[in-house]
Amino acid sequence: MKLQQLLSYTRRGVDDYNMIDDGDVIAIGISGGKDSLTLLYALHGLKRFYPKKFELKAITVDLGLGIQKLDEITALCKSMDVEYHIVKTEIGDIVFNERKETNPCSLCAKMRKGALNDKALEIGCNKIAYAHHRDDIIETMMLSLIFEGRFYSFSPKTYLDKTGLTLIRPLMYASEYDIKGFQNKTNLPVAKNPCPVDGRTKRQYVKDLIDNLNREFPGIRERFFRAVLDGNIQGWPTPIPRQPRTKSRDIK
């Protein structure tokens, strides 16, 4: 996937769900993985021509497990003139050593999001951009069906009453395949996930399940995604009807 296609997907998500307003200060959660670095490129590129003016800041929550390629990520943010913050925590030690969680993902995610939200508020952000893509939305729907018995997936845009922050997911229309293609073309400084249970989670099980289903029934991913978009899921905003627009000459 080229930058032009990435910006097209990003603008579609932002426009359909009114994710960005004039004057927004948006924190991007940077894990060091391909998804969050692609989101950094996407919003930095969108900022150049989007009619609503917004500011970007980047935040990495250090779980205490180490951050690979930190120098490269720092240099990338500097090259884009994006303010970069690192939040030191002991989340990894708490989850894996003190609590010895058998299913650590839920607690880790809750603590990580709390640290990210606190830092975003501290540095003056009113929104946080997550790098969830189309396949993440589909996998979350399947996780909810299999393990909770309900049809659900996270919303493209969510307002958090307790903090006043709004969560947005601008990459919602981009697939993981697209993002891998962008990673290869751009040579992103992708860091390996330091989590001890990486690749051995319920989400990985569901990812593999969907891969197998898609091989047997080609196009099932697209049908699953359409089912989520049209599913009237509680908490999902209604997309704004798309208006025809002239092609931007700023997208190169």
Q: Where are the domains of the chain?
A: 3-229
Sign of CA dihedral 194, 196, 197, 199: positive
**Closest C-alpha among 172, 140, 208, 159 to residue 9:** 172
* % of the chain at pLDDT higher than 70: 93
Q: Which CATH class is domain 3-229?
A: alpha beta
Query: Given this model, what pLDDT does residue 53 score?
Result: 97
What confidence score (pLDDT) does residue 243 get?
66
**pLDDT over 50 (residue 252):** no
Average pLDDT over residues 204-213: 95
The tens digit of pLDDT for each residue in 151-194 reads 999 999 999 999 999 999 999 999 999 999 999 998 888 877 77
pLDDT one-digit tens code per residue, 39-87: 999 999 999 999 999 999 999 998 877 777 889 999 999 999 999 999 9
Selection from 61, 215, 34, 50 nearest residue 128 by Cα: 61
Angle between the 176-186 and 3-16 helix axes, to the nearest 10 degrees?
140
Which secondary-structure segment (H or E) carries 51? Answer: none
Taking only the tens place, the pLDDT of each residue in 223-246 is: 999 999 999 998 899 898 876 654
Distance of CA 39 to the CA centre of its chain: 7
- The pLDDT assigned to 137 comes to 97
Which residue in 133, 132, 25 sits closest to 85, CA to CA?
25
**pLDDT at residue 248 in the model:** 44
Kindly report, residue by residue over 82-114, the tens digit of the pLDDT: 999 999 988 887 887 777 766 777 788 888 899
